[in-house]
């Protein structure tokens, strides 16, 4: 099976590159419809106008047996292992953190912040939020979780030595945060400890994103355990890397650095007693995950790679669930740099891709529909905006995207003066200079290389000399280091965002957002983002004016489309694969499900027939 897939991958590389981007998907031999594909014809509900191919929830009857839950962490790169909610910076580490978290806040239907093991009350008129921690929530060393643990998160994020990415305009909006950050105050004046379990937060401005958690920590961190570690040393300290505390259903019992994490039930967990005796999350290579699933090696594979879909969709020993992810993929353009001293984006008007017409042509040249069909089995949806559809109220499903149109791309380049002067088949810039565009792409999985080469061929088909930076793919950690540090050789890169609960794009595209890797900034962008964050979004009674807010989001989506701030490529239908012995799993946005509820119905996993 593995060899045949590699052969298919090779055939795909050859056929896609040789055919340019214009080959019709119908010309590729399609397998016969299977029983699972027939099931996909059924409707399991919609997110926006996107139909889901599988259910979002499974609940099975039967008594659970304890045992060990084996969870796959599918990545070709060893994980970093930053077990701290204000220090981690990638989704792999977040996946490892989740069993240790308490479901501190839950999500509403638009991912807004709702009560979990911490309740929250908003007071728009007085610009306050009051957080009240569950009276029995306790760290895994037996010390209660208190308001001091939330204040500690604020103080770390706002500290002058903090080098992470969370100190942004939302945290600056907390009264006294900027003074504390500048060293003008020893405390943050907008934080008021009402009692051991209650914290009141006062904001300078009360804007809509606060309802989604802007300027509010989603989780506490144990002050009593970490307070004596200098912030500069915290990231490498064993209390973060090897011996973190937990206030969730599970705690870490053993770590094999970069490879696996073993968890046992937290004896001080105040929620439902976990149904398994142990859990192991183990890194496994994307190339071998299907064989591992078939053999029963893993009980759970969250967000399983869809590029191997044909190989696992019919396995008899698994059940698939689906939902639309709070994420999207995109092609990014390096348009400036990050000024760490000023804490803001500095656009470069002389960047190689500063000309919006060149970016438009690049976007029109991408055949995302065919990529979704060939590489992703239509489990990726060509994206039209930089807001993901899981935020259905604010995503503009009718917004025009950049549909594949290579002739229009060529026309735009011709009219902009990008023409082939020397007859080598590639266009020079309007001044007649050679135009070589470096494309940075990430390694990982069987389709990473052919996908990168596919897009390169699309751009070459319109006369742009796009080459893979340094002639190769780059592993994940090195990739993000290069992007974050504004490696001067990067012109173009392919990446994705897990956007989380807050739909406000300021944290990814704002002038003062470190995550604005594209380094785009303009006065109009500032104005449109400010409209999304405006107090005008509230009615006189303090409730959200949904009509106003929808218009503000739609206006911004139209602007960044016209400016091609980034070229969105896909929204993701995420799949979770479960061994048939798993008792329950829930992918719904609004849910009471958490890790303490997952159980096993037999001592041994099912093996594929």
**Is 453 among the domain residues?**
yes
Element (H, E) at 113: strand 113-115
Q: Which domain holds residue 560?
A: 326-572
Task: Name the stretches of the chain with pLDDT < 50.
Answer: 1-41
**Are residues 375 and 483 located together in one domain of the fold?**
yes
Give the integer Cα–Cα distance in Å for 70 and 244.
Answer: 21
pLDDT of residue 205: 92
**Are residues 183 and 233 located together in one domain of the fold?**
yes
Strand pairing partners for 494? 331
Task: Please check whether residue 100 is in contact with residue 85, taking contact to mean a CB–CB distance below 8 angstroms.
Answer: no
**Are residues 333 and 481 located together in one domain of the fold?**
yes
Q: Which of 295, 265, 258, 297 is nearest to 279 (CA)?
A: 265
pLDDT of residue 20: 38
**Are residues 333 and 464 located together in one domain of the fold?**
yes
Q: Give the residue from 238, 260, 279 where a domain finishes.
A: 238
**Are residues 492 and 391 located together in one domain of the fold?**
yes
**Are residues 277 and 395 located together in one domain of the fold?**
no
Task: Please check whether residue 201 is in contact with residue 131, taking contact to mean a CB–CB distance below 8 angstroms.
Answer: yes
pLDDT of residue 41: 45
Look up the CATH number of the domain holding residue 398. Answer: 3.10.105.10
**Are residues 376 and 463 located together in one domain of the fold?**
yes
**Is 44 among the domain residues?**
no
Look up the CATH number of the domain holding residue 603. Answer: 3.40.190.10
The residues near 490 (Cβ < 8 Å, ≥ 6 apart) are: 334, 438, 440, 469, 482, 483
Q: Give the residue from 191, 217, 238 where a domain finishes.
A: 238
**Are residues 439 and 553 located together in one domain of the fold?**
yes
**Is 555 among the domain residues?**
yes
**Are residues 71 and 122 located together in one domain of the fold?**
no
**Is 358 among the domain residues?**
yes
pLDDT of residue 91: 86
Look up the CATH number of the domain holding residue 223. Answer: 3.90.76.10
Give the integer Cα–Cα distance in Å for 402 and 385.
Answer: 9
The residues near 125 (Cβ < 8 Å, ≥ 6 apart) are: 542
pLDDT of residue 44: 73
pLDDT of residue 5: 23
- Output phi, psi for 139, to 5 deg: -70, 160
Indicate the angle between helix axes 523-532 and 546-563, nearest 10 degrees: 160
pLDDT of residue 169: 83
**Are residues 281 and 339 located together in one domain of the fold?**
no
pLDDT of residue 22: 41
pLDDT of residue 176: 98
Instruction: Say if residue 291 is exposed, middle or buried (CB neighbours under 10 Å; 0-12, 13-18, 19+).
Output: middle
Q: Give the residue from 211, 238, 265 where a domain finishes.
A: 238
**Is 33 among the domain residues?**
no
pLDDT of residue 24: 34
pLDDT of residue 17: 34
DSSP string for residues in 107-147? E-TTS-EEESSEEEEEETTTTEEEEEE-TT-B-TTSPBP-H
**Is 34 among the domain residues?**
no
pTM over 0.85: no
Task: Please check whether residue 445 is in contact with residue 305, taking contact to mean a CB–CB distance below 8 angstroms.
Answer: yes
**Is 2 among the domain residues?**
no
User: What is the tally of structural domains in the chain?
Assistant: 3
- Output phi, psi for 571, to 5 deg: -95, 155
Task: Please check whether residue 46 is in contact with residue 390, taking contact to mean a CB–CB distance below 8 angstroms.
Answer: no
**Are residues 368 and 512 located together in one domain of the fold?**
yes
**Are residues 453 and 391 located together in one domain of the fold?**
yes
pLDDT of residue 284: 95
**Is 225 among the domain residues?**
yes
């Amino acid at each position: 099976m593995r060899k045949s897939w590699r052969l298919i991958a090779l055939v795909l590389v050859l056929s896609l590159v040789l055919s340019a981007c214009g080959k019709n998907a119908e010309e590729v031999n399609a397998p016969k419809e299977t029983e699972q594909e027939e099931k996909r014809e059924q409707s399991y509900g919609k997110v926006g106008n996107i139909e889901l191919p599988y259910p979002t929830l499974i609940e099975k009857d039967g008594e659970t047996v304890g045992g060990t839950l084996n969870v796959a962490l599918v990545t070709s790169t060893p994980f970093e292992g930053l077990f701290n909610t204000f220090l981690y910076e990638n989704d792999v580490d977040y996946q490892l953190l989740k069993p240790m978290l308490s479901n501190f806040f839950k999500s509403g239907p638009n991912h807004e912040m709702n009560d979990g093991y911490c309740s929250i009350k908003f007071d728009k008129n007085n610009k306050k939020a009051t957080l009240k921690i569950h009276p029995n929530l306790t760290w895994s060393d037996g010390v209660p979780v208190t308001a001091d643990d939330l204040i500690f998160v604020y103080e770390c994020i706002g500290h002058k030595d903090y080098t992470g990415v969370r100190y942004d305009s939302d945290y600056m909006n907390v009264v006294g945060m900027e003074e504390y950050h500048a060293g003008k105050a020893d405390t943050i004046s907008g934080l008021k400890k009402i009692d051991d379990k209650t914290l009141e937060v006062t904001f300078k401005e009360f804007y809509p994103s606060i309802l989604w958690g802007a300027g509010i920590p989603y989780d506490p961190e144990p002050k009593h355990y970490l307070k004596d570690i200098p912030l500069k040393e915290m990231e490498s300290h064993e209390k973060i890397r090897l011996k973190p505390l937990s206030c969730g259903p599970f705690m870490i019992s053993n770590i094999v650095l970069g490879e696996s994490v073993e968890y046992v039930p937290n004896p001080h967990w105040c929620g439902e007693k976990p149904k398994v005796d142990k859990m192991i999350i183990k890194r496994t290579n994307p190339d071998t995950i299907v064989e591992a699933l078939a053999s029963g090696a893993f009980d759970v594979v969250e967000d399983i790679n869809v590029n191997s879909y044909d190989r696992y969709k019919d396995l008899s020993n698994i059940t698939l669930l689906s939902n639309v992810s709070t994420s999207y993929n995109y092609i990014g353009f390096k348009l400036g740099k990050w000024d760490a001293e000023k804490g803001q984006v500095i656009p470069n008007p002389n960047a190689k891709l500063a000309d919006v017409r060149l970016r438009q042509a690049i976007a029109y040249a991408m055949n995302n529909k065919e990529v979704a069909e060939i590489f992703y089995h239509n489990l990726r949806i060509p994206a039209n905006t930089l807001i993901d559809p899981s935020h259905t109220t604010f995503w503009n499903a009718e917004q025009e995207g950049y549909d594949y149109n290579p002739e229009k791309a060529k026309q735009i380049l011709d009219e902009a003066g990008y023409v082939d002067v020397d007859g080598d088949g590639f266009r020079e810039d309007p001044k007649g200079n050679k135009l070589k565009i470096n494309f940075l792409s990430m390694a990982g999985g069987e389709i990473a290389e052919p996908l990168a080469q596919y897009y390169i061929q699309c751009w070459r088909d319109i006369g742009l000399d796009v080459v893979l930076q340094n002639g190769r793919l780059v592993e994940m950690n090195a990739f993000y280091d290069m992007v974050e540090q504004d490696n001067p050789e990067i012109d173009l890169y392919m990446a994705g965002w897990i956007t989380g609960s807050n739909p406000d794009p300021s944290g990814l595209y704002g002038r003062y957002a470190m995550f604005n890797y594209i380094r785009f900034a303009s006065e109009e962008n500032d104005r449109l983002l400010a409209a999304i964050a405006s107090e005008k979004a509230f009615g006189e009674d303090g409730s959200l004016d949904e009509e106003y807010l929808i218009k503000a989001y739609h206006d911004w989506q139209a602007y960044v489309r016209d400016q091609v701030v980034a070229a969105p490529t896909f929204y993701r239908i995420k799949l979770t694969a479960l061994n048939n012995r798993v008792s329950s799993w829930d992918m719904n946005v609004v849910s009471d499900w958490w890790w303490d509820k997952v159980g096993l119905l037999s001592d041994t996993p099912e093996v594929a027939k």
